[in-house]
Chains A and B, each alone.
Chain A
Amino acid sequence: MALVTTPNLRDPDGFYEALMELHEGLSPEESAALNARLVLLLANHIGDEAVLEEAFRAARRPALVQHSP
């Protein structure tokens, strides 16, 4: 199975809002720790090394548009 990069979330705005709420009130360190736990939980759920490697590559790709500092 390949990494799904086409729309797959039933409610994208709702998901995004929930993710932001998850981080509310956290320091940058706490947010980083939470993200790490999330990555580990989701990676285990996916469980398919090929899909995970594809996700690693997609995540690591430099952004096409550099926003100004």
Chain B
Amino acid sequence: MAYAYRSHPWRSCPEAEGRALRHPVLIAGGGPVGLTTALELAAYGIPSVVFEDGDRVSEGSRGLCWAKRSLEILDRHGVAKRLIDKGYTWNTGRLFHGEQEIYHFVLQEQGSHKFPAFVNVQQYYAEEFLVEAVERQPLIDLRWRSKVVDVRPGPDGVVLEVETPHGRYSAEGDWLVAADGTRSAARRALGLDFQGDTYEDCFLIADVKVHASLPKADRRFWFHPSFHAGDTALCHKQADDQWRVDFQLGPEVDREAEKAPEKVIARVRKMLGDHPVSVEWASIYTFQGRRLERFRHGRVLFAGDSAHQVSPFGARGGNSGIQDAENLAWKLAFVIQGKALEDLLDSYDVERGQAAAENIRLTGRSTRFLTPKSPAERIFRDAVLHLAEKHLFARGLVNSGRLSVPTVHEGSPLNTETDFEGGVLPGEPCPNLLMEHGYLLDRLPRDFVGLAFGPAPDLPFPVIAMPMQAASAFAAAPGTFYLLRPDQHVVARWQDPDLKEILAAHARALGG
């Protein structure tokens, strides 16, 4: 069964009727990053207008593997459970060399986790669930068939030129979040360039339905697959009993011919068996490892694919975009509400720039392993695969993508370093421990919050009394205190703080 798209009509708005309004936040792009930004802002009480070019959610599975941290973020909008109910949860990756399984890795140890390491759900479902959450949220005005065609930034605001089926209008806002994807109109309007690498090798990606009962399977990755002449192949199970397949084709291919259903079906039947196959979606892509140098340009903030692009092996595209949204929203909200100075937004550029650099570095290394650039690289890559059959050390060198984990914002200007060994690091998200009254993250407010293992001083933000049973994850002793930001990342921790130290760290985390 193919996905049933719902077409969302264009609706008139004050600007289209000649009435000028000034919005606190405009968001270009109604994909996962734009919608998550709007929901996060609304959770802090900030209204926004989202401009989406299309009239429906996106085509093809695209962002497929939703990582634990994304689920934790989306859970606060009621979206995580829907993703899990709809999707295929997996925890194991299997690596093959030819027909031989050389090893498998397990992502998350057994335990009382609220969320799995990954759930596979086609991006159109993620967007559908986000749209439904947005429709329940009166602070968000989601405008379909509204294409941002120009951006005019000013010193204290932004004017957008919006194209609709009923003509153009201008929309004014104090801030613009540009979440308008790889071909960002905002990026073009500001004359900003992507910097980094693009790679030659073409990959075929497709969503297919196999009309046979196949055993369930977690992530499977092949080097030198016996069923495909290319270097690598990847197969994931996804929602609606579909499979997402990925075949490395090489540098020069006839893109149209490769996307033809007969050709895709022939490849899939060699991979998954001689069964009837139907193709839901097929596309050809190449790897990119590119980013904007800076994500903040005055009143314009870039998030997701408009700011950075990585190769898909590792699921670091969509998941890092969701983290961008979370990182940006509280800072923007605090600035708008006068709780922090504008400079706080520079830390968005520092922290998410750090994440993009990390994602580009790690996906670049994976790309190098998947697509060797020289005879020498190929010799070493194949030597690693050969050794990995027998030797544990070589398995650590096999790189089929390093799967997304949240970036630890080590060295962030918002952190305060203290003399503290182990536990959760400054810049790291708080672990979602199961405690007596439920999961810890479910208890965190949309504010700075203290976690106190013992008595705590009176503070201008909430404090949660932590049971000593939770001490080991935090390397805590009686008296230990953690300060968390509104996005659940650790700011600082102390074994025995005084009020002044906590207040100073709080002030620093607000941008000084």
- Chain A residues with CB below 8 A from B370, complex form: none
Q: Is B397 an interface residue (CB 8 A)?
A: yes
Given A32-B379, A36-B380, A40-B380, list of 7 further CB < 8 A pairs? A37-B383, A37-B386, A37-B387, A40-B383, A40-B384, A40-B387, A44-B394
Is A58 an interface residue, CB under 8 A from the partner?
Answer: no
B-side contacts of A32, CB under 8 Å? 376, 379
B223 to chain A, nearest CB (A): 15
Q: Quick check: is A50 within 8 A (CB to CB) of the other chain?
A: no
8 tightest Cβ-Cβ pairs between the two chains A and B: A36-B383, A44-B393, A37-B383, A36-B379, A36-B380, A32-B379, A33-B379, A37-B387
A22 interface residue (CB < 8 Å to B): no
Asked whether A41 is an interface residue with its Cβ less than 8 Å from the other chain, the reply is yes
Are A40 and B394 within 8 A (Cβ)?
A: yes
Bound form: Cα–Cα A44–B382 in Å:
17
**Contacting residues, chain B, for A39 (C-beta < 8 A):** 380, 383
Chain B interface: which size bin?
10 to 19
Name the interface size band of chain A: under 10
- Residues from chain B with a CB closer than 8 A to the CB of A37 are 383, 386-387
Nearest chain A CB to B376's CB is how many angstroms away?
8
Chain B contacts for A40, CB-based, 8 A: 380, 383-384, 387, 394, 397
Interface residues of A in 37-69 (CB under 8 A from B): 37, 39-41, 44
Which residue in chain A gives the minimum CB-CB distance to B396? A44
Identify A41's interface contact among B376, B382, B387, CB under 8 A: B387
> CB within 8 A of A33: which of B386, B393, B397?
B386
Chain A, 19-42, contact with B by CB distance < 8 Å: what is the 0/1 string?
Answer: 000000000010011001101110
- B387: chain A residues at CB < 8 Å are 37, 40-41
**Which chain A residue shows the least CB distance to B384?**
A40
Q: Which one of A36, A39, A44 has the greatest number of beta carbons of chain B within 10 Å? A: A36
Q: Which residues of B contact A36 (CB under 8 A)?
A: 379-380, 382-383
Smallest distance from the beta carbon of A68 to chain B beta carbons, Å?
25
- Tell me whether chain B's interface is mostly helix, strand or loop, or mixed: helix
List residues of chain A with CB within 8 A of the CB of B383: 33, 36-37, 39-40
Is the beta-carbon distance between B382 and A33 smaller than 8 angstroms?
A: yes
Chain B residue with Cβ nearest A37: B383
CA distance A64 to B391 in the complex (A): 38
Name 21 A/B residue pairs within 8 A (Cβ), A-sorted. A32-B376, A32-B379, A33-B379, A33-B382, A33-B383, A33-B386, A36-B379, A36-B383, A37-B383, A37-B386, A37-B387, A39-B380, A39-B383, A40-B380, A40-B384, A40-B387, A40-B394, A40-B397, A41-B387, A41-B391, A44-B394
State the CA gap A39–B384 with chains docked (Å).
Answer: 10
Q: Within B374-390, which residues are at the interface with A (CB < 8 Å)?
A: 376, 379-380, 382-384, 386-387
CA distance A29 to B383 in the complex (A): 12
> In the docked arrangement, what's the CA distance between A37 and B383, Å?
5
Q: How far is the CB of A30 from chain B (nearest CB, A)?
A: 10
Nearest CB of B to A50, in Å: 19
Give bound CA distance, A33 to B383, whole Å.
Answer: 6
A33 to B381, CA, bound (A): 10
A33 to B387, CA, bound (A): 11
- The closest CB in chain B to the CB of A38 belongs to B383
Least CB separation from B380: chain A residue: A36
With a cutoff of 8 Å between Cβ atoms, the chain A residues found around residue B397 in the complex are: 40
User: What 0/1 pattern do residues 110 to 121 of B give for CB contact below 8 A with A?
Assistant: 000000000000
Most buried by A among B376, B380, B383, B397: B383
Q: What's the Cα separation between A1 and B288 when bound, in Å? A: 40
B185: min CB distance to chain A, Å: 45
Query: 0/1 per residue, B350-386, Cβ < 8 Å to A?
Result: 0000000000000000000000000010011011101
What CA separation (Å) do A29 and B384 show in the bound complex? 15
A29 and B393 alpha carbons, distance in the complex (Å): 24
Residues of A within 8 A of B379 (CB): 29, 32-33, 36
With most chain B CB atoms within 10 A of its CB, the pick from A33, A40, A41, A44 is A40
Residue of B with least CB distance to A43: B393
- Give the chain B neighbours of A33 by CB distance below 8 A: 379, 382-383, 386
A37 to B389, CA, bound (A): 12
Tell which of B379, B384, B394 has the most Cβ of chain A within 10 Å: B379
A47 CB, nearest partner CB in chain B, Å: 9
CA distance A40 to B396 in the complex (A): 12
Q: Give B373 Cβ to nearest chain A Cβ, in Å.
A: 15
C-alpha spacing A37/B387, complex, angstroms: 7
The residues in B between 59 and 81 inclusive whose CB is less than 8 angstroms from any CB of A are: none
